[in-house]
Amino acid sequence: WKDQPMVIVSVIIAMVWQAIGYYMVMYMASMSAVPESLYESAGLDGAGRLTQFFQLTLPLIWTNIRTTLTFFIISTINMAFLFVKAMVAKGMADVGLSFMYAQKDAGLYGYSMAAGVVIFLFSFLLSALVNWVTKREVLEM
């Protein structure tokens, strides 16, 4: 799993394994907050399970989906660095934070700070873009 072609795949598998429980708990908690009576009414109206999911569940947990997408973007930038640092031999794979730390270790603190600002701006703009793209009217029960 440390060979060059498998490095990224190994890191992705480890990151998914690490994060899947957190996001599953978030989604299960928000789905359990949807009243059972809505599903019962939809079932009486003839809606199948797939229709209930897309017409009831998804719109009612949409704010949670937006929040977890933002968490995912921010944590992926940080966690990718940690997983690459822990799992990969030096120089086989790099991420943005690896460059920032390499500049710091070389004594180029200004470049390191500039890289940190660029990484922050990138994550902020990407999160803002995702929130803008996924913006919908808030549904309440």
Q: Mean of the pLDDT values across residues 10-36?
A: 89
Give the domains, in start order, of the chain with CATH numbers: 4-133 (1.10.3720.10)
How much of the chain, in percent, has pLDDT values that exceed 70? 90
Which pLDDT band, with edges at 50, 70 and 90, does 50 fall under? Answer: very high
Token pair in block for residue 76? 């992926």
Q: Mean of the pLDDT values across residues 46-73?
A: 89
**For the whole prediction, is pTM greater than 0.75?**
no
How much of the chain, in percent, has pLDDT values that exceed 90? 17
pLDDT at residue 74 in the model: 85
Q: Mean of the pLDDT values across residues 14-29?
A: 90
Which pLDDT band, with edges at 50, 70 and 90, does 111 fall under? Answer: confident
pLDDT at residue 138 in the model: 67
- DSSP, residue by residue, 66-129: HHHHHHHHHHHHHHHHHHHHHHS-TTS---HHHHHHHHHHTT-HHHHHHHHHHHHHHHHHHHHH
Which pLDDT band, with edges at 50, 70 and 90, does 125 fall under? Answer: very high
